Copies of this chain bind each other. A is one copy, B any other.
Amino acid sequence: MSLKTDPTLSPFFTPKGVVLVGASQNPAKLGFGPARNLVQSGYRGAIHFVSPRGGTLLERPIYTSIAAVPDPADLAVLLIPAPVVPQALQECGKRGIRAVIIASGGFRETGAEGAALETQCLQIARTYGIRLVGPNCIGILDTHVPIDTTFLPPPGPTPGDVAFISHSGAICAAVIDWARGQGFGLSRLVSLGNQVDVQETDMLAPVASDPYTHVITLYLEGVSDGRRFVAEAARVTREKPIVALKVGRFASGQKAVASHTGALAGQESAFDAAFRRAGVIRADTSEELFDWARALAWCPPPKGRRVAVLTNAGGPGVTAADALEAHKLELAELTPETVTALKEILPPAASLRNPVDMLAGATPTQYAECLRILLADPNVDSVLMILPPPPMDSAGGVARATIPIIYAATKPVVVALMGERMIQEAVEHFRAAKVPEYRFPERAAAALAMLTARADYLQKPPQEAVRVTDVDKACVARLLAEYEISLENGGFLPQTAVSQIMTAYGIPVPPVVLAHTPEEAVHLARQFGQPVALKVASPDIPHKSDVGGVLLHLMGDEAVARGFEQVVTNARTAAPTAVIQGVHIQPMILDGQEVIVGAVQDPQFGPLLMFGSGGVEVEGLKDVAFSLAPPTQAEADYLLASTWAGRKLDGYRQIPEGDKMAVLDIIYRLGQLAADFPQLAEIEINPLRVLEKGKGAYAIDIRARLKP
């Protein structure tokens, strides 16, 4: 474990002495809870109580002031009315306490007055160098230190290996109880409350660095600083898995809506992209959060996706096979040796193909032997074992017979126990042995899928975002600075500026060449060898198409020559005093595959890239994927692999292979641009026309909007 942690946060978990301010002798009062829990938890440091009334509590004196508390005292828990919290913080500062949990409510969550109080607390904390957890939180506990600063009614959680960090206090109470009922223990629990100082990101490394913690679970209502969270979580997930439940999915945030990218990029796309970058596993429900956490905490990583299913009934075996395939796992192809070995111990009617169905009469010994055989098969990466309540044998016996084998195995085994009361003994055995068990095959399969995803992640070396350096950043900076002053068109940059930006960042746009005469135009059009567009070249005519200064789809010498004359005539008629330099001629690229590449600035995670099927139907087809920008190589690959637009670049039926390398290059370049210039609220290439392999890709239409 190489995680560096912030030493100022250590007292929250391993204090030498804890001061409870607001301790109450009345067991019905909230202020009694932490006193009881500190004492009952078996905390071995000093426990001090403070209350203006004095007296004794749980055979300890109650001091009437923080100043009066003797050494050691390096963590304070405040459970006093909000208005007196600043005063108490001051006293903690003076007493030399540098870590404080403000459990009290009555702050930002109640309105402006509370928010002001919170700011005041932060100022005091800054003055004294105090770190604050809360306010409006349940506190922190660690079952191995052990210490419990919460006011929750006993029993607290059993010691275990799953850590829980939560923005919601109520969820903490539920999780402790749920964990106890589901038979898994917690290592550390952190309730963050209003996060006036310490935020979810700060707590990742301190919790992960705890040797008893095997997996970190998060209940997030958002993140405070998106990129910091990603960086820190990425560091942590290399050491220990993080599973996160992010709630508030449908909260409609403020949105950039001028582009397709803006319309499709939501908070959820950004969180998905951020979690992907950070290696954080995202759970969709509370149940998944802890289903997966148990498997991740208790099982070795599988070497691959090939699963053997061991069952004593066909139906649940099929259900398991379905669920495995739904999660993109494979049913292992058993070796002939395995089949032979199974045949020797199973009845003739048993199914020796995967799923291995031992039939209803399977004994604990058969379960154990088959499991041993399957685990020894080199084609098997993991095993899903199913125990329906057999009519004539006990599930408990199967648990006892198989646990030693599971324990000795270097491959993961997860168990699906069908039923409820008749399997209770087996459940207790498996839980005690830290074998993840689930009530249905579907949940067991999902857990196995997460184990496999985690193993995949660890096998791939971490990647840096791809930085593109052969860009003219200064040029774009100049351009944007100019337009930030003279914004026209509601923040949209004019096409000339947008083309210049593309060129500065090495994104090909169709060439534009100035022709001074019709003959020159004809010559150029022949060179381009495609239909061309003509646009009158004049610095004095901003809206060229309004004056008939633009002609499209011209083909053939005659049309081009005539077109040249026409746009010039049109322009002269409409603007007799304008300086006309000639006509811009540009090839029209009409073939190739049509994709979209866009970027927006996400309020939490900054630049976010989108790639997918382009054209006018982007929002209807929704064939798009997102990544943080600039992307890593794996992320850029993911953008292509997870969209039809991207897969189609490999060619499909009549559609020839597209220039994938050119697309990837443009993805990196647009990502770099979005990262370099956060003032670009939205920039979108739609379509990007992708020509055949080796022939490049061209940004045809580009929209860019500056932040207001």
- Residue ranges of A at the interface with B (Cβ–Cβ < 8 Å): 28, 30, 33, 105, 109-110, 151-153, 166-171, 173-174, 176-182, 219, 221, 245, 247-251, 284-287, 312-316, 318-319, 321-323, 325-326, 349, 360, 388-392, 418-423, 439-443, 613, 616-617, 620-623, 644, 647-648, 652-655
Contact = CB atoms under 8 A, between A and B. Distances in A.
A35 B340 CA distance: 39
B617 A648 contact: yes
15 contacts: A33-B391, A151-B391, A168-B318, A170-B313, A170-B388, A170-B418, A171-B313, A171-B418, A173-B389, A177-B389, A178-B418, A285-B323, A617-B652, A620-B647, A620-B652
B249 A389 contact: no
A312 B170 contact: yes
Nearest to A151: B391
A319 B247 contact: yes
Nearest to A621: B644
Nearest to A349: B110
A461 to B, nearest CB: 32
A232 to B, nearest CB: 23
Contacts of A644: 617, 620-622
A174 B420 CA distance: 8
A250 B174 contact: no
Contacts of A349: 105, 109-110
B388 A173 contact: yes
A423 B250 contact: no
Given A177-B422, A250-B325, A284-B442, 12 more contacts: A33-B391, A109-B349, A153-B391, A168-B315, A169-B360, A170-B313, A171-B388, A171-B418, A177-B420, A178-B420, A248-B318, A286-B441
A174 B418 contact: yes
A165 to B, nearest CB: 13
B623 A621 contact: yes
A554 B159 CA distance: 81
B177 A421 contact: yes
Task: Across the A-B interface, give the 8 residue pairs with the lowest CB-CB distance, nearest first.
Answer: A181-B420, A168-B315, A170-B313, A174-B418, A177-B419, A285-B442, A250-B325, A286-B440
A180 B391 contact: no
A322 B250 contact: yes
B322 A655 contact: no
A248 B652 contact: no
A388 B616 CA distance: 47
B315 A420 contact: no
A655 B615 CA distance: 11
Contacts of A418: 170-171, 173-174, 177-178
A314 B316 CA distance: 38
Contacts of A390: 173
Contacts of A388: 170-171, 173-174
Contacts of A285: 323, 440, 442-443
Contacts of A245: 319
A151 B389 CA distance: 13
Contacts of A28: 392
